[in-house]
Amino acid sequence: MLILKSVNFEQREFQNHQLQASHPGQTEWVIGRSTTCDLVLMSPEVSRVHGRIVYLDPTYYFVDVGSASGSLLNGETIPIDDPHPLQPGDLLQLGQTFLHVEALVAPLSAAAETAIDSNMLPTQIWAGEDLLCRCCRIVDETPDVKTFCFVAEPPVLFCYQPGQFVNLEIVVDNKPVIRCYSISSSPTRPYHLSVTVKRVPSPPDQPELSPGLVSNWLHDHLKVGDRVKLIGGAMGNFSCLPQVPSKLLLISAGSGITPMMSMVRWVQDTLTDCDIIFLYSAASPEDIVFRAELEAIAAQMPNLRLAITVTRPSPKHAWMGLTGRISESMLPLMAPDFLERSVYVCGSEGFMQTTRSLLEKLEFPMQNYQEESFGGKSSSSPVSARSASEEGQLDATLIKTLPSEFLSASNGKNSRSDPLRSAQSASQNTASVIHFTKSDQRVLADDGMSILEAAEQEGVQLRHACRVGACGACKVSVQKGEVRYQTSPTALTIADQKAGYVLTCVAYPVGSLEIDA
């Protein structure tokens, strides 16, 4: 094992690194800017593959493999392909990045490594608890799309259904922020979890709107080795499991490809007997996410037919495939038997509305239609990907948890918190008293005010993300009282409802509540 400390004074970055065997018998490690390297140095002066560390018993050597900016060892230039031995205290300079050799330990034998590796394999399964994860790889998919790969600390086996999403928490300006992202990896590869994120600029016609806060932060700031938190377990019903249809039609656009990729990878790995047509729309050839992998999968899987269309062909990138938006003429051409298939759709709200209308016009049986979306407003589709109709329809007006009663305890902080005055006010103004037990705070919620809105008005911090009942980040347990919903809370399962959980962003109190938050 080789222990290094990297310093980049221009970027003000200081990191510790351990080069150890990732497989039995490994004695060589690659250093460079490429995310496929064993040691990734994200500095523009570092070449994509800059150099190698080689162990030849009993010495570690550094070799420059022809980097653009060259390498220095203790201030002296290292000729290309000339191995130089390393000692503790040596200083390597690669571009503007300095690597200080902290310690050198001989690699273990292959037999010992195999034993240690097998003992270090995770045995615990992710059961839905909050989970600290380390970013272990970042892949540039397109100019504005990156895939972020995470492993858990301590290691666990990631268990989820292909197509589900996770809630990711990061800290921006010293404040925790949560956003939901579809999982692009497959549960058949449980040692890591990946999300694929598109940079989100302000709309061209509405520059006053804010760009994507978390998505852009991930692009600009998250580095290999950084840590994020997964809030709760994987969520959502947008999945080909548990009853895999015999014939699938996957339709997606832009970054809506991410849950589709998870399902396709799952079908490929499990050799499931499922006939798939994958219709994907991208803005231009360079915007095709996972293009090389998709083409390779299509070549390997006889039961997958891939059709990609671009809406803005570029003269800089040759394109001989389909062009234009998915239309009434294109769909039957690419999927002649689409009426016999189960259809999964993911993309922007406008894309899904257009696709939904197109299928309805072509008299597609909409009971076989599912869609997925996280943004903006909740879908009005009668058969939504996370629709409660898949698990038993919720009562849209009232969901009972436990018998409702006004609280009698008093904290005597002020007139708004006094339970007697709160109860009187509630009876006169149809306001409800909400008691948050963990912080022991009582607030009033006026008629038409959600639990989350009432909490924010009084400065009570509740975890939340989407604000439309789709992500489940705001799920809390109601110990006493009743709530109502204007629309079905799509992120709640039947088991959640029976256990007394509600979504504070879309749940409205009916009378007084006692909440475990």
- Reading phi first (left if > 0) and then psi (alpha if -120 to 50, else beta), residue 438 is in alpha
Q: Going by CATH, does the domain composed of 247-372 fall within 3.30.390.50?
A: no
Q: Over the stretch 372-427, which tens digit does the pLDDT of each residue have?
A: 865 444 333 333 333 322 333 333 323 333 333 322 333 333 333 333 333 334 34
pLDDT value, residue 210: 58
Nearest alpha carbon to residue 465 among 213, 131, 178? 178
Distance between CA atoms of residues 459 and 60, nearest Å: 57
Can you give the residue ranges of every domain in the chain?
2-104, 125-235, 247-372, 432-515
Which homologous superfamily is 432-515 in? Beta-grasp domain (3.10.20.30)
Q: Would you place residue 11 in the very low, low, confident or very high pLDDT band (cuts 50, 70, 90)?
A: low
Distance between CA atoms of residues 482 and 404, nearest Å: 6
Check pLDDT > 70 for residue 323.
yes
Residue 245 or 172, more confident = 245
Burial of 260 (0-12, 13-18, 19+ CB in 10 A): buried
Contact 402, 510 (CB under 8 A): no
Lowest mean pLDDT among 107-116, 294-303, 448-457, 473-482: 107-116
Distance between CA atoms of residues 282 and 351, nearest Å: 12
Contact 435, 408 (CB under 8 A): no
pLDDT value, residue 211: 64
**DSSP type of residue 459:** T
Q: Give the class (CATH, top level) of 2-104.
A: mainly beta
Check pLDDT > 70 for residue 449.
yes
Mean of the per-residue pLDDT values of the chain: 82
Residue 323 or 394, more confident = 323
Q: Is the pTM of this model over 0.85?
A: no
Residue 203 or 2, more confident = 2
Which homologous superfamily is 125-235 in? Translation factors (2.40.30.10)
Q: Over the stretch 41-98, which tens digit does the pLDDT of each residue have?
A: 888 889 989 999 998 878 999 999 999 999 999 999 999 989 999 998 899 999 888 9
